[in-house]
Amino acid sequence: MSSIRVNIDGETEQLLAKLNGLAGLDKAGVNNALAEALRTGVQERFESGTSPEGKAWPRSIRAGASGQTLVVTAALKNSINTRASAQGAEVGTNLIYAATHQFGASGRTIRARSKPFLAFQVGGRWIRKKQVTVNIPARPFLGISDSDRQNIQDIIDEAIAEAGR
């Protein structure tokens, strides 16, 4: 049989009191706060056009009049949602094309389905094709930035302080 044994010697009353105080910690509430903080971080990345590491996203030719990449319709930005419970927190989207933008896609073929041709503008000229092959660079929006890490630490510190009172 394998086992590990830990002996704690000395003044343990303060440590045990702190640990007992954490028993009343509202884990679901903490995880909900964490999820919301991370969702806010993702929303800020759409505004700044940067990855969680702070790198600017490659500019899209579809950026439109706003000049912002990935926010022409704001569907992806507005689809970011959260789920939290006592077991953990999740932040993400269920849009099928989100992974393409998060990780990029090389050599992706797009075909006309409901019409005979795809129609799109390049340099002010309308182009019609039955299919096109595109390379879409990664534009990571999900992840944890340095600012997110600090927010996570602050939320956890506050929760532990409240539970210990």
The CA–CA distances, whole Å, from 88 to 29, 85, 91 equal 10, 6, 11
For 36, the token pair is 């919301």
Percent of the chain with pLDDT over 70: 92
**Reported confidence tier of residue 28, pLDDT bands at 50, 70, 90:** very high
Nearest to 101 by CA among 132, 75, 131: 75
- Strand blocks (E) in 20-159: 81-85, 88-92, 105-111, 118-122, 125-129, 131-136
User: pLDDT tens digits for 56-112?
Assistant: 988 887 666 566 777 778 899 999 999 999 999 999 999 998 999 999 999 989 888
Domain coordinates of the chain in residue numbers?
13-101+142-163, 105-138
Q: What is the average pLDDT score of the chain?
A: 87
pTM of the model: 0.77
